[in-house]
């Protein structure tokens, strides 16, 4: 199955700066139709070709950042709008399994900042914590532990076997406080923009550690 390569990273070395804050989005397996994935992939390839024609490294880096945000927004919108595929996170018992796991890892592997669960995907922001040896819990290890546990629990409830989560996840390192505020607002407003509630605090599957004013 083709994947949106700009959004997904799999089996590639990932640079994790000490103290980094991550915005991660992950989705249920089979939650996007192949045709939509192919369209997103084609747009990503076209964007890469345009970026490769920019000779100045700083300008290319800045334009790549803008392109990534635009492509992620398209991908996330597709997840919000699709009626195809599985929507198991719509079931309260399944959503609670995911939330329990996110909170269980809080204070053990990361500091949990915010999240929102939608019917077929999850947005989460967290800060990996230091281990006793001074290194940080890796993003890949955190997501592997969370996905493996929740997939097993959810499949038990659903009475099924097989892949529950899509293997790949989108992740982005938050660069500064302004971006942190913008991304947390994006995460919390996801159910609002989808027309599910009028205010993010009305959505039972959201959390924010900090006190956003609106």
Structure confidence by residue, pLDDT tens digits, 103-124: 999 999 999 999 999 999 999 9
Residue 196 lies in a domain: yes
H or E stretch at 172: strand 170-173
> What CATH number should be reported for the domain holding residue 144?
3.30.70.1290
* Structural domain total, the chain: 1
Domain range for 32 is 22-208
Q: Within a domain: residue 90?
A: yes
In a domain, 3, yes or no: no
User: Of all residues in the chain, what percent carry a pLDDT higher than 90?
Assistant: 56
Query: What is the per-residue pLDDT across 13-36, written as a single tens digit (0 to 9) for each?
Result: 456 788 899 999 999 998 776 766
pLDDT over 50 (residue 5) = no
In a domain, 178, yes or no: yes
Q: Is residue 150 in some structural domain?
A: yes
Using alpha carbons only, what angle is made at residue 151 by residues 188 and 94, rounded to the nearest 5 degrees?
55
| Residue 154 is assigned to a structural domain of this protein | yes
In whole angstroms, give the CA distance from residue 137 to residue 129.
6
Range with the largest mean pLDDT of 2-11, 46-55, 130-139? 130-139
Establish if 214 belongs to a structural domain: no
Q: Is residue 194 part of a domain?
A: yes
């Amino acid at each position: 199955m083709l994947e949106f390569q700009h959004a997904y990273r799999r089996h590639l070395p990932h640079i994790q700066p000490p103290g980094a804050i991550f915005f991660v989005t992950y989705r249920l397996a089979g939650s996007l139709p192949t045709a939509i994935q192919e369209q997103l992939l084609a747009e990503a390839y076209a964007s890469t070709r345009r970026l490769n024609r920019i000779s100045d490294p700083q300008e290319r880096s800045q334009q790549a950042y803008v392109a990534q945000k635009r492509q992620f927004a398209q991908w996330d919108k597709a997840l919000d709008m699709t009626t195809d595929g599985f929507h198991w996170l719509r079931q309260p018992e399944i959503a609670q399994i995911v939330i329990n796991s996110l909170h269980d890892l809080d204070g053990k592997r990361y500091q949990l900042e915010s999240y929102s669960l939608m019917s077929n995907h999850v947005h989460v922001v967290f800060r990996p914590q230091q281990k006793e040896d001074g290194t940080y819990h890796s993003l890949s290890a955190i997501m592997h532990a969370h996905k493996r546990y929740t997939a097993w629990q959810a499949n038990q409830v659903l009475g099924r076997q097989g892949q529950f989560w899509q293997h790949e996840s989108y992740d982005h390192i938050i660069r500064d406080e302004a971006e942190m505020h913008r991304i947390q607002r994006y995460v919390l407003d996801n159910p609002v923009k989808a027309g599910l509630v009028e205010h993010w605090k009305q959505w039972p599957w959201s959390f924010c550690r900090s006190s956003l004013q609106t």
